[in-house]
Chains A and B, each alone.
Chain A
Amino acid sequence: MRWAVRTGQAVAGLSRRLGLGQGGIIGGRLTLALAPAALSELAAGRRIVLVSGTNGKTTTSHLLAAALRKAGPVAHNDTGANMADGVLAALMRAPDASLAVLEVDELHLGTVAAAVHPEVVVLLNLTRDQLDRGTEVRTVAAAVRVALTAAPDATVVANADDPMVVWAVPRGSSAVWVQAGSSWLSDSVSCPRCGQALAFPSSSTSSLPSPWPGAGVPAWVCSSCGLRRPVPTWAAELDLAATPAGPVPLALQLPGAFNTANATMALAAGDLLGVHARQAAAAMAALDAVAGRYATIHHGDHELRLLLAKNPAGLTEILEVLEPARSLLIAINAREADGRDTSWLWDAPLETLADRHVIATGERAADLSVRLTYAGVDHATTTDPWAAIAQLRPGKVDVVANYTAFHQLLGHMRPTPAPTSASHRRARPRSTRPAGAR
């Protein structure tokens, strides 16, 4: 096994030096091919937390890793490589870390959990995501349920407000329930267990329930099979976390109610590993960007804030943190990693942008443009995001992008220092086309 790890590390290093990538996946993949047992051997003796769910895996694992570093070195797949090879690569990179925070794709949770024997599994939410791959939400929830059933020693930190999550946690598991809210219940208004309609007593019947933000989270229940919202012991409030030991202020730099929820889930997980919530919250407050998300980048005359939104639930959340004073650019692609189907754009309430001017961009700008037209949103369409940014008035810009569009922007971004004088040189990123080119 040792030589397999060393070979993998050598290849990962080579990949980094050649500029092919960050080496995370190739090194891990090679080691796994050479020694399939490598993952469980590298995990042995460590205290491991797995973080899974549709949205917020990367952010939550970054928040948790920041908190756990108070207790010692932490192995962490911080780039979001969240299948077995990426997880293995993170453990290879930090051989001496006794703690590990590993984000894991929902459909790979079974494989990874069986190999690493996690002490804690954080389950954030389960909503529709990239449906063209043919995996529907209930199928994903069922796979998570099988994974957790096979890991009875793990404590599950789970979102009590998401019926799909509650169903995915098997009855025998020890669970810490968190009131983490949900801005997206459209996937679980029928009971995940029996298919009958769920009752959300405090919501009106004419529209979908929207319990977040605010305190009135409906205590949903299935009148047919009895599946119901468990009583949470932790709760995400507006800017604090209610913990069993009292309220803890959060002071996060990351925006939005959903990040308060992510942080509360991370606090509950950290608590299980012995990091006090106050101490953890202080570490989390230092984070201002997560793998490029929320990063502020100075680019020529513009200060860009990068926001990732890859599915309707994520986009709905991001729409809530947009700042009206900033220009707004939305970049949509539909490559393999994004899902080839753009119809998810119709599931997010883009009508809320009706008083904004939007720049629609990305490889599928045309699909976005039709959506915005029918939402009554004034917009301009430019396929090339760099040309689009160049046309914006100088100042702050919110850039919302889905997965590959986000990484194209991030990868081609040449951050320049904040301008100090009026006569600064104009930065020209690699991909900039002549001004006005379409």
Chain B
Amino acid sequence: MGDSSLTIGVLLPDVLGTYGDGGNATVLVQRARWRGIDATVLPLPASAAPAVGCDIYLLGGGENTAQRFAVSWLDRHPALLHSLEYRATTLAVCAGMQILGRTALDERGQTHAGLGLLDLRTTPGPRRAVGEILTRCRLPGVGLLTGFENHRGLTTLGPRLAPLAEVVTGVGNGAAERGRPPVDGAVTDRIVATYLHGPVLARNPALADHLLQQATGQSLEPLDVPAQERLRRTLIHAAGRRYFRRSRWRTRSS
């Protein structure tokens, strides 16, 4: 888009907007504006042809019917897919991550093709993973990620696709290989994908800044948002308590 302005496109807010993930756009646009970067949020609903020149695209969580609709809609807009693959920065959450993968299997055992932008496959797990999740992000400088997960997907990454984070407490991708630590999400040079809601960027400003730096090509000075730091401390502390309780229990029962 314009030289100094940043456009954040929210893909299908009317279809994939079930879990408060629209808040990620609010966080990005405010963190850009607070640094003097002109930024706007552009909702890209199903009823109109999507803008293909956004700097950042967001894909949120949604229900099964909505996911299938989203795949067929995105498939009809190859210029947009080209942007996602080669030009823009994308954050894909939960169902958003699943539809960027190669295939997704629904609860009735039917396989649905994804968009194939990420080398991952998703199958339904034995039960829904619902609750707080804490992970350690592999991106440099981002640190711990706190979120709320709510999904039934087991996601397996292809051999050359890196996970976004290692799971400290919670489920994440769920399909851990033997001897490897459980992981969440996936990351490429263009796409950050995760199971974390919360919204994830409201709880993890460093991840928001990673996306902004990626999109602007600038290194951004840190921001002081005390409310966010307080929330992070509380949530990470609570997750830590659960972690230690669980490991103590494990030691005792073994």
Contacts and interface: CB of A to CB of B under 8 A. Distances in A.
Interface of A: 128, 131-134, 136-139, 186-187, 189-190, 195-197, 199, 205-208, 340-347, 366-367, 369-376, 381
B68 interface: yes
Contacts of B18: 128, 131, 136-137, 187
Given A347-B20, A376-B30, 13 more contacts: A131-B18, A134-B128, A134-B130, A136-B63, A186-B13, A197-B15, A208-B43, A340-B148, A344-B20, A346-B20, A346-B23, A371-B202, A374-B27
B202 A370 contact: yes
A134 B148 CA distance: 12
B167 to A, nearest CB: 18
B227 interface: yes
B15 A343 contact: no
B175 to A, nearest CB: 19
B204 to A, nearest CB: 11
Contact of A370 (B14, B65, B227): B227
Contacts of A366: 227, 230-231, 234
B244 interface: no
Given A340-B148, A373-B228, A189 B14 contact: yes
B53 interface: no
5 contacts: A190-B14, A195-B69, A197-B69, A366-B231, A370-B228
A93 B48 CA distance: 56
4 nearest A-B residue pairs (beta carbon): A346-B23, A343-B20, A189-B14, A195-B65
Interface string B115-142: 0000000000000101110000000000
A206 B43 contact: yes
Interface in B89-104: none
B128 to A, nearest CB: 4
Nearest to B25: A346
Given A132-B150, A369-B231, A374-B30, A189 B130 contact: no
A203 to B, nearest CB: 9
A161 to B, nearest CB: 16
Contact of B227 (A136, A187, A344, A373): A373
Nearest to A341: B148
Given A187-B18, A189-B45, A343-B197, A138 B231 contact: no
Nearest to B129: A134
B28 to A, nearest CB: 10
B228 A205 contact: no
B26 A196 contact: no
B225 A186 contact: no
Nearest to A381: B227
A314 to B, nearest CB: 15
A208 B227 contact: no
A141 B245 CA distance: 39
A343 B17 contact: no
Contacts of B150: 131-132, 134, 341
A261 B229 CA distance: 42
A343 B203 CA distance: 10
A409 B22 CA distance: 31
A147 to B, nearest CB: 20
A189 B148 contact: no
Contact of B17 (A132, A138, A186, A374): A186
Contacts of A206: 43, 45, 48
Nearest to A194: B65
Given A343-B23, A343-B199, A346-B23, A137 B47 contact: no
A137 B63 contact: yes
Contacts of A340: 130-132, 148
Contact of B13 (A205, A208, A344): A208
A205 B150 CA distance: 30
Find the residue from A128, A197, A375 having the highest chain B CB count within 10 A: A197
B81 interface: no
Contacts of A197: 14-15, 45-47, 69
Nearest to B15: A190
A128 B27 CA distance: 22
Interface in B215-250: 225, 227-228, 230-231, 234
Given A197-B15, A208-B14, A189 B46 contact: yes
Given A341-B150, A370-B227, A346 B26 contact: yes
Nearest to A190: B15
B39 interface: no
B23 to A, nearest CB: 3
Nearest to A375: B26
Find the residue from A340, A342, A346 having the highest chain B CB count within 10 A: A346
Contacts of A187: 18
Contacts of B52: none
Interface in B3-38: 13-15, 17-23, 26-27, 30
Nearest to B151: A134
Contacts of B231: 366-367, 369-370
Given A374-B27, A374-B30, A138 B63 contact: yes
B8 to A, nearest CB: 13
Contacts of A208: 13-14, 43, 45
B66 interface: yes
Interface in B126-169: 128, 130-132, 148, 150, 152
B17 A369 contact: no
